[in-house]
Structure 1
Amino acid sequence: MREVREIIVASKRHTLALFGGTFDPIHLGHLRMALELRQVLEFDEMRLLPSHQPAHRQTPGVSSRQRSEMLALALEGCEELTLDERELLRGGATYTVDTLEELRSELGGEASISFCMGLDSLLSLHRWHRWERLLELAHLVVVTRPGWHLPDRDSEEHGPLAELLENHRGTVADLHTRACGCLLLREQTMLPISATQIRELIKSGQSPRYLLPATVLQYIEDHRLYTEVASGDPQ
C-alpha cells in the first residue's frame, strides 16, 4: 500500500469518482459504499449522480426532483460526498456515456474519472448505450460481493465482458496515474439494504427506520412517498 501511495503522490492527477443510480430512495447502503470507495481508493472527489430517466430499468415512481432532494438531505454534513445533478438538468433518457463525455469536456484529458457500479451493472454493460466508448472516457470500478464470479468467456451473452476484463483489468494505482481505460474489481462487504425493500416496507405500513437517514425518512413521511396514495410526479 505504501508503494501505491507513493505513485499516487507522484502523479498529482486529479481523481474524480462517480456513483450513479436512481436512489429511489437513497439509503445507508448507498452512502456507506460511496464513502468507503472514496476513502479506500483515495479519490479527490466522490459525486453521487441521481439519474433522470434510467434507460435500462423502469422509471421510478417518485419524481427525479424528489429523489434529488432526498439525496441532498442524506449528504448534509458529509463533506466527502457531493451531489451532482447534471443528469436531472439534462433531461430525457439517462445515458452514462453522455454524462462521461460532458465531464471529460469540462475537465479535460488529464483528470482521472472513475465510474463506480455493482457487479450486476457490469453483467448488463453490453446492453448499455455506446458501452464500448465508456473506457475511452473513464475507468470503471466494479464493486463485487464476496463469492462473486467473473463473466464466462465461453458464454454467448457475457463473452464480450470477459474479454473486456482481460484486456482492461487495472489496479488502484492506475486510477491515479491514468485518466481512463482501466477496469478495477473491488470486493466489498455491502450492507444488506435495498431500495426495493424500503419501498415495500412503507407500502405495507411498516417502518424502514435505521435503513436510511432519519432526514430522508422524515421527507418520505412528509410527502407520503411510496404509499399507494402517493403521487410523486415521475418527471
Structure 2
Amino acid sequence: MTDTGGSPVAVLGGTFDPVHWGHIRPAVELLQALGLSEVRMVPVSVPPHRSQPRADAALRCRLLRLAVEDVPGLVVDDRELRRAGASYTADTLASLRRDLGPRRPLCFIMGSDAFRGLTQWHRWRELTGLAHLVVTTRGGDAGGGWSDTLAGWLTARRAVNPAELRRSPAGRVWFQPVSQLEISATALRRSLAQGYSVRGLVPDRVWTALSRCRGYGYPQQ
C-alpha cells in the first residue's frame, strides 16, 4: 500500500443559497462511510455554470457556519469568497493541494448530474491530478448516461473499492450512494419570499437567523 499523508480531506462546494439538510446530511454520511478526516464546505463566490446566488456571500457563509457549528468533521472553507473572479473547481483544488501538500488524499464531492456534464467544466481533465472524485448517487441512480468522452476517461480511473481513496493522494473516481432528501434551495427561497416557514428543512440555528433577517425576503420578526 502506498504511504499517504493521513486520512482523506474532502471538499463539497455549492452556492448554499441557503444551506439546508440536503447539503448537511449527505456530507455527514460521506464523512462516516469513507473515513474522511473532514469535509470542507466551500461556498461559491461567482458560479461559472449557473445563475448568481440570491443572497450575498456574507449571508450565505454566515448561515453555513451556523449549520455546521455542532457537526463534528464539517468545516467551512471560504477561500472562494476571498478570491476574485469566477469560482473554478480546478483553481480551488490547486489551492487546497498547495495547503495539504502532495501526499494527503483529497476528495472532491459532486453529484451524479454534475458528473455527467464534467467534460464541460473548466480544465476538467486536471481535476483528478489534484484530487479523487467522489460522485454521490441517490435512489436507483447507478450512474451511466455519460458521453463517450467521459466514459472512456472514466475507464482507467474508476475505483472498485473506497479504500483506494486512501492509497493515493488523487486520481480515482468513486461512486457513493447517499440518502435522498427532497429539499430544494429554490423552493426554500420561494417559500421564504412568500413568508412561509422552512423550519425543519434547515438546521435550527439557520432557521433562527433566517427568521431575523431579510436576506431571502422573509418578514423580519
Sort the TM-score into its range (normalised by shorter chain): over 0.9
Alpha carbons 2:5, 2:104 under 8 Å: kept: no
Distance 1:67 1:118 in 2: 21
- What does residue 50 of structure 1 align with? 43
Query: Moved runs in structure 1, 4+ residues, more than 6 A?
Result: none
Do structure 1's residue 175 and structure 2's residue 169 form an aligned pair? no
The 3-state SS of whatever aligns with 1:37 is helix
Offset at residue 38 of structure 1 (A): 0.4
Distance 1:34 1:166 in 2: 26
Do structure 1's residue 80 and structure 2's residue 73 form an aligned pair? yes
Quote the sequence identity (%).
39
Alpha carbons 1:45, 1:81 under 8 Å: kept: yes
- What does residue 70 of structure 1 align with? 63
Offset at residue 149 of structure 1 (A): 4.7
Q: Which residue, 114, 117, 136 being the options, matches 2:129?
A: 136
- What does residue 211 of structure 2 align with? 221
Structure 2: which 5+ runs fail to align? Answer: none
Offset at residue 51 of structure 1 (A): 0.6
Q: Which residue, 95, 99, 107 being the options, matches 2:88?
A: 95
Distance 1:229 1:167 in 2: 53
Distance 1:98 1:88 in 2: 13
After superposition, what is the alpha-carbon deviation per residue over 1:9-50, rounded to whole angstroms, capped at 9, x for unaligned?
Answer: x86633111111000000011111101100110011211110
TM-score, normalised via structure 1 length = 0.87
After superposition, what is the alpha-carbon deviation per residue over 1:89-140, rounded to whole angstroms, capped at 9, x for unaligned?
Answer: 1132100000111111122210100000111110121111100100010000
Do structure 1's residue 119 and structure 2's residue 112 form an aligned pair? yes
| Partner amino acid, structure 2, of 1:208 | V
- What does residue 233 of structure 1 align with? none
Which range moves more in the overlay, 96-105 or 188-197? 188-197
Distance 1:159 1:150 in 2: 14
TM-score, normalised via structure 2 length = 0.92
Matches within 5 A, 1:153-168: 158-168=147-157
| Partner amino acid, structure 2, of 1:169 | R
Offset at residue 164 of structure 1 (A): 2.5
Alpha carbons 1:25, 1:195 under 8 Å: kept: yes
Distance 2:117 2:176 in 1: 18
Offset at residue 152 of structure 1 (A): 3.8
Matches within 5 A, 1:200-211: 200-211=190-201
| Partner amino acid, structure 1, of 2:177 | E
- What does residue 3 of structure 1 align with? none
Distance 1:53 1:12, change over 3 A: closer
Higher helix share: 1
Distance 1:164 1:146, change over 3 A: farther
Q: Which residue, 174, 180, 199 being the options, matches 1:184?
A: 174
Structure 1: which 5+ runs fail to align? Answer: 1-6, 231-235
| Partner amino acid, structure 2, of 1:205 | G
The 3-state SS of whatever aligns with 1:42 is coil
Distance 1:12 1:61 in 2: 39
Offset at residue 198 of structure 1 (A): 0.7
Distance 1:102 1:139 in 2: 15
The 3-state SS of whatever aligns with 1:49 is strand
How many residues matched? 219
Q: CA RMSD in A?
A: 2.0
